[in-house]
């Protein structure tokens, strides 16, 4: 499956532009291998065979996310890659921009301000000049001074309001600041943070002052309110002081620290329920995948386990979904009715929970949904890597040891008896 759309590759010089997918399917709804190999090169035909077909209506999908649904993040990432966007070339060609960005991510300030400064030097702040470059038709006059054009450099350094703020802080701008570029001005001010000739209070406050200028502009523009600049500067200096004091305090190393809500053991199901841990060992799209399910009761005792070698899958999520579908069908055939599925792949759990957000996988997700409805109770749990280890170890044996023969067995494998017993003891403690 391609990361981005591309032109199709055909074997023949003459191409049928009206060819549809249904023309490549047999009467039973599966791919017509001979026709695929006749029309497309071997590698293209193989990629097509990896795609699941089914009786699901066609729909448009977004090609730039794994799940096939649009997100603002992916849209912005795509737009950022387009080289011909007006106004971006000057930023991309400046050799000092990358170094300045590295400096920003190391600044002694809160993450929110680092992100703001990174967006500023990247030209990603919603000032009038940048919005007009992206196609909007706005009055570009600065709303604070009503004279200059509202650009990022104007707002932070050249607007009379900004000049006044820097003077009040005892950090006046250079006489030729109106002719300097954003990168030059921002770099020179951030370097002052390490200048020992300036008072500590002034140095610490510089990132917060830049943030204050941005907040002041937004407050006037969108909330139609303005707080005294003296009060805003006082608050900025106080926030900078408190933050720097907090990060300079020694870390608390008492017992009990660490991650909260971290799973410390394999969690058994309730009495009368069965828990099925699944895993698909996927390496790449050219190899088989090893699929496994391990079913245990409330004491941690293994009731059934099974292993299967799946044919080529284009990505790990597809392999995991195929493994889940196989496990659900097997549990239904074995007579289980109240089950819990444990997986260490968060994307799998999200796709099952929010099917509409994963249109790229809608065919197999529809089949999984149909299977789920045949159980009297079913739930899905996120399992840590450590406590999905039994399923992972069995799945690895398919490719590692060349064990491509599928099987279903009572109990657990003898070679993992110690690990199974250990998890059972932990689950009961």
pLDDT at position 327, please? 97
Question: How many angstroms separate the CA atoms of 1 and 11, rounded?
Answer: 19
Given a contact cutoff of 8 angstroms between Cβ atoms, the answer to whether 341 and 41 are in contact is no
pLDDT, tens digit, 9 for 90 and up, residues 301-310: 999 999 999 9
Question: How many angstroms separate the CA atoms of 68 and 184, rounded?
Answer: 41
pLDDT at position 56, please? 75
Given a contact cutoff of 8 angstroms between Cβ atoms, the answer to whether 287 and 411 are in contact is no
Question: How many angstroms separate the CA atoms of 286 and 181, rounded?
Answer: 51
Which candidate, 179, 178, 145, places its Cα nearest to that of 160?
A: 145
Question: How many angstroms separate the CA atoms of 363 and 322, rounded?
Answer: 11
With cut-offs at 50, 70 and 90, classify the pLDDT of residue 256. Answer: very low
pLDDT, tens digit, 9 for 90 and up, residues 45-82: 887 887 777 777 777 888 888 888 888 888 887 777 66
Ramachandran sector of residue 340 (left: φ over 0; alpha: ψ -120 to 50; beta: rest): beta
Domains of the chain with bracketed CATH: 89-247 (no CATH), 274-428 (3.30.420.10)
The overall average pLDDT reported for the chain is 85
What stretches of 312-429 show up as alpha helix (H) in DSSP?
316-334, 346-353, 362-372, 389-400, 417-428
Q: Which two tokens stand for residue 61?
A: 């999908």
Assess whether pLDDT exceeds 90 at residue 7.
no
Tokens 């004279």: give the residue.
147
Q: Which two tokens stand for residue 184?
A: 């030059």
Helix, strand or coil, per DSSP, at residue 291? strand
Residue 82, CA atoms < 13 Å, CB-side half-sphere: 11
Given a contact cutoff of 8 angstroms between Cβ atoms, the answer to whether 373 and 395 are in contact is no
Instruction: Name, in order, each residue with C-beta under 8 angstroms of 79's C-beta and a sequence gap of 6 or more.
Output: 85
Assess whether pLDDT exceeds 60 at residue 3.
no
Question: How many angstroms separate the CA atoms of 150 and 154, rounded?
Answer: 6
Q: Strand order of the sheet with strand 407-410?
A: 377-382, 338-343, 274-281, 289-296, 302-310, 407-410
pLDDT at position 72, please? 87
pLDDT, tens digit, 9 for 90 and up, residues 133-178: 878 888 999 989 998 899 999 999 999 999 999 999 998 888 888 8
Q: What is the pTM of this model?
A: 0.50
């Amino acid at each position: 499956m391609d990361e981005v759309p591309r032109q199709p590759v055909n074997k023949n010089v003459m191409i049928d532009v009206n060819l549809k997918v249904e023309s490549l399917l047999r009467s039973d709804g599966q791919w017509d291998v001979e026709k695929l190999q006749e029309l497309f090169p071997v590698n293209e035909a193989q990629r097509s065979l990896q795609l699941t077909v089914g009786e699901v209506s066609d729909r448009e999908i977004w090609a730039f996310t794994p799940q096939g649904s649009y997100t603002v993040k992916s849209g912005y990432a795509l737009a950022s890659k387009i080289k011909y966007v007006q106004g971006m070339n000057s930023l991309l060609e400046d050799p000092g921009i990358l170094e300045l960005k590295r400096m920003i991510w190391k600044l002694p300030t809160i993450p929110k301000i680092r992100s703001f400064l990174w967006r500023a030097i990247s030209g990603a702040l919603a000032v009038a000049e940048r919005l007009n470059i992206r196609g909007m038709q706005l009055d570009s006059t600065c709303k604070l001074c009503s004279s200059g054009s509202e650009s990022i450099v104007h707002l932070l350094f050249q607007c009379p309001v900004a000049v006044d703020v820097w003077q009040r802080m005892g950090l006046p701008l250079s006489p030729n600041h109106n002719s300097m570029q954003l990168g030059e001005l921002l770099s020179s001010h951030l370097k002052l943070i390490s200048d020992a000739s300036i008072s500590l209070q002034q140095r610490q406050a510089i990132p917060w002052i830049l943030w204050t200028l941005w907040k002041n502009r937004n407050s006037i523009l969108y909330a139609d309110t303005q707080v005294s600049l003296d009060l805003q500067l006082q608050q900025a200096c106080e926030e900078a002081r408190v933050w720097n004091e907090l990060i300079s305090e020694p870390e608390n190393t008492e017992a009990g620290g660490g991650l909260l809500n971290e799973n410390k053991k394999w969690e058994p199901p309730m009495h009368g329920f069965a828990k099925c841990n699944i895993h698909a060992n996927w390496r790449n799209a050219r190899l088989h995948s090893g699929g496994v399910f391990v079913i245990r009761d409330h004491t941690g005792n293994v009731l059934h386990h099974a292993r299967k070698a799946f044919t080529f899958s284009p990505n790990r999520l597809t392999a995991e979904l195929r493994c889940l579908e196989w496990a659900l069908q097997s549990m239904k055939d074995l007579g289980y009715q109240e089950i819990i599925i444990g997986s260490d792949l968060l994307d799998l759990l999200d796709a099952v929970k929010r099917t509409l957000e994963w249109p790229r996988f809608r065919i197999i997700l529809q089949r999984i949904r149909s299977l789920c409805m045949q159980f009297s109770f079913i739930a899905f749990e996120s399992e840590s890597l450590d406590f999905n280890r039994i399923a992972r170890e069995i799945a690895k044996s398919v490719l590692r040891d060349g064990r491509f023969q599928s099987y279903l067995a009572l109990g657990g494998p003898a070679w993992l008896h110690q690990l199974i017993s250990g998890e059972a003891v932990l689950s009961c403690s």
